[in-house]
Structure 1
Amino acid sequence: MSSRAVIIDTDPGIDDAVAILAALASPEFDVLGITTVAGNIGIATTTRNAGRILALAGRGAVPVIAGAAGPLARKGFDVAEIHGNDGLGGVGFPEPSAPPRSGHAAIWLADTLMAQPAGSVDLLALGPLTNIAALLAGNPEAARRIGRIIAMGGAIREPGNIGPRSEFNLAADPEAAEAVLGAGLPLTLIPLDVTRRVRADRATVEHLRAAGTAASRASADLIAAYFQTTAGGESRPLHDPCVMLFAMAPQLFGCEAMALTVDCGQSRDAGSLAPADDGRPPVSVALTVEGGAALSLLTERLTRR
């Protein structure tokens, strides 16, 4: 199977960690690097966590490059009550086997995109879009060389998870999200409408644990931490793995083209999406998913030897 070159932009994060482990185990992806952004927790911790995830997967040669320490124009959120003070739900990970690269993620992104054939590198965005907005502002020529962006974020017909209509990643930096959605780049958005349909049950956790791979055992513990903060027989939504699942198996998703704008106000709806009337090109928005098949694919990749 041929691999697609990808860069993962992320703020790990429990579900980010599961998504990254799945990507590292999947033959579809040649992971060129991981860029980090503040989101679920501060930049020092998200950067360390990216290195810890790579160390567990035995992929310490993949570079980690720290990016934005906060939103473009506002204060960030603190969601330690969901992800734990370490961002990984207290699950044991080794320390990074290599330090992060020097320099800023947006500059590394630009240099990498300019060095690769135009259109050959995809960007898998799991957190606030601050680094991508910085790339657009600093080097729009490099940004236009992105093959496609697949980004977890937003809510279309679903209520929000951080405000009445706003989803965390876009609400964490609405100005960055507005810049990226309005830039005309090839973008697929994976909103709450999809991610809330992909959840693990306790049997899935036990299957992952029994498989005995480093990725499956860690993912079992990570998802189990999601059960500790929710009631019932299903985990919290596995938001970020849906980005990797879409990249691997787009046939499991149903998409619509939508021109969207982002609320950049100061209300609780900051970061929410609305139809755009400024003539901007549409983006592709995933609105349906075969949840059972998506979860099966995720567990298959996490248990892969």
Structure 2
Amino acid sequence: MAKRIIIDTDPGVDDILALLLAFSASSAELEVALISLTFGNIEIKKCLRNAVSVFHVIEKELAHRGEAGKHAFSALKARRPILACGAEGPLDGSKVDAGYFHGFDGLGNVHTKCPHLSADDTYQALFAGEEEAADDDEKLYIPSRQPSHMEILRLLRENEEDSITIVAVGPLTNLALAAAEDLPTFLRAKEVVIMGGAIDEPGNVTPFAEFNVFADPLAAAQLMALTSLDPRRTWPAASPMAPPRRLNKRLTLKIAPLDLTHTQNFTPTAFHAAITPHLQRSSPLAELVSTVVEHTFSTIRELKLARHEATSAEEEMSLHDPVCVWYVLTGGSETWRWQERDVRVETTGQWTRGATVVDRRLVGRVDADVVDKVVVEGEEEEEIAVAAEEQEEPEDDRGGWRAGGNRVGVLERGPDRLLSEELLRRVFSQ
């Protein structure tokens, strides 16, 4: 049976590569039920334009391949995903973006360089107003006027428990809003897989923080707290929301941090060799991918020069977001390695906002906490859990790191084969 997924994204360069990897899966592998948009790399209106333009280019690509008797994107054609807009900013209101890296439009300024690859403005009416938009069977997506977090909850409510995986490759605001709106329904998700954080590597926007977590640290901290049966232990103090008291089910959460995603890259030489044959065949999709990736190579070199760092002709572009889709596609195999760790997020630090914090004094998995040993169903269990909550924090364990905390699966290693080759093979297979 195909794995059913929701992709929560802020369509920038590596986001659209993740989308293309998902859409190019076979209908037996994946079913993309929803594309949920969030602010992040760029503002939400530009995210919507980019997402609709990706569908527009895929339509052109299907026509292009159809002329040659080729077929592609069976998962996308088998079931059109819903497309919905979500959060316009983080929970704490302090919006940031990454236009300096992804371009002012989020896709390497492709809408200016290649206007024929942009969707016309008629799509805007499909997402405006309160009533549901009329569906157009000819489009590769179903427009929704409901907020993303409400569409997430609707799908989780209407499908069997543990049947939908959420892949989040942007700031986690939509997911935090969904959990706040209806936590029992949100916990029906089989798993949440996020691209975010930096464990043993420096951050990419500050010395400590990776962008997606930095863009909304409160949302990330609240989600990670839901991996404990007692979220109060690690709930961010800065949150205006009261934490849930106790959970009957923990959120199953895995993260692909920079430590992992930096190991999967495009290099200019390999990318050019792979994309050139498709450009020579006038592939619209190859033109889109080439434009945004070439912009990224150029931006990486320019940023390094501005920082007086050494540069080379082989500057690598990391495939951060596609790693999460790759995990969903191949995660059932034994080639993935991950470790459960107590990962927490700093939400208020002047210099450490968005840092993903682990206890480096401890080696390997932390001790199981008292509450996680208890199935909260009967009076006896509840009394035990309450007793655990009322225990004073030991003076030598401030923050309760030894007593228990979050249970986040940190992805450490994937298949030995290169994602860069796998991605291009799948997307451009003839």
TM-score strictly above 0.5: yes
1:237 paired residue number: 318
Q: Which whole-Å CA distance do the structure 2 matches of 1:176 and 1:63 have between them?
A: 23
Q: Is the 8 A contact 2:97 2:215 kept in 1?
A: no
SS across alignment from 1:255 = strand
1:18 aligns with 2:17: yes
Q: Counterparts in 2 of 1:294-305, with a 5 A limit?
A: 294-305=419-430
Residues 258 and 214 of structure 1: CA distance in aligned 2, closer, same or farther (over 3 Å)? farther
Q: Counterparts in 2 of 1:15-164, with a 5 A limit?
A: 15-27=14-26, 28-58=29-59, 61-91=80-110, 92=114, 93-95=117-119, 98=123, 99-100=126-127, 101-164=144-207
Structure with the larger strand share: 1
Q: Which whole-Å CA distance do the structure 2 matches of 1:287 and 1:200 have between them?
A: 19
Q: Is the 8 A contact 2:7 2:32 kept in 1?
A: yes
1:200 paired residue number: 266
Instruction: Judge which range, 151-160 or 257-266, deviates more.
Output: 257-266
Q: Is the 8 A contact 2:199 2:358 kept in 1?
A: no
Tell which structure's C-alpha radius of gyration is larger.
2
Instruction: Judge which range, 223-232 or 148-157, deviates more.
Output: 223-232
Q: Which whole-Å CA distance do the structure 1 matches of 2:32 and 2:224 have between them?
A: 24
Q: Is the 8 A contact 1:124 1:151 kept in 2?
A: yes
| 1:269-293 deviation digits (Å, cap 9, x = unpaired) | 1111113726334111012345652
Q: Is the 8 A contact 1:4 1:121 kept in 2?
A: yes
* TM-align CA RMSD: 2.0
Shift of 1:216: 4.0
Instruction: Judge which range, 87-96 or 77-86, deviates more.
Output: 87-96
| 1:91-137 deviation digits (Å, cap 9, x = unpaired) | 24331785341121111111111011111111110100000000100
1:178 paired residue number: 221
Aligned-residue sequence identity (percent) comes to 28
Q: Is the 8 A contact 2:198 2:356 kept in 1?
A: yes
Q: Is the 8 A contact 1:65 1:102 kept in 2?
A: yes
Q: Is the 8 A contact 1:188 1:285 kept in 2?
A: yes
Q: Which whole-Å CA distance do the structure 2 matches of 1:178 and 1:281 have between them?
A: 10
Structure-1-length-normalised TM-score: 0.93
Shift of 1:204: 3.1
Instruction: Judge which range, 269-278 or 41-50, deviates more.
Output: 269-278
Instruction: Judge which range, 5-14 or 240-249, deviates more.
Output: 240-249
2:343 paired residue number: 260
Q: Which AA in structure 1 matches 2:322?
A: P
Q: Is the 8 A contact 2:46 2:105 kept in 1?
A: yes
Q: Which AA in structure 1 matches 2:268?
A: R
| Unaligned ranges ≥5, structure 1 | none
Q: Which whole-Å CA distance do the structure 1 matches of 2:56 and 2:34 have between them?
A: 13
SS across alignment from 1:240 = helix
Q: Which whole-Å CA distance do the structure 1 matches of 2:95 and 2:286 have between them?
A: 31
Quick one: which of 256, 275, 284 aligns to 1:190?
A: 256
Shift of 1:297: 1.6
SS across alignment from 2:45 = helix
Shift of 1:234: 3.1
Shift of 1:87: 0.7
1:249 aligns with 2:249: no
| 1:217-274 deviation digits (Å, cap 9, x = unpaired) | 4223222121111233033211111111111223444211111110011423111111
1:220 paired residue number: 290
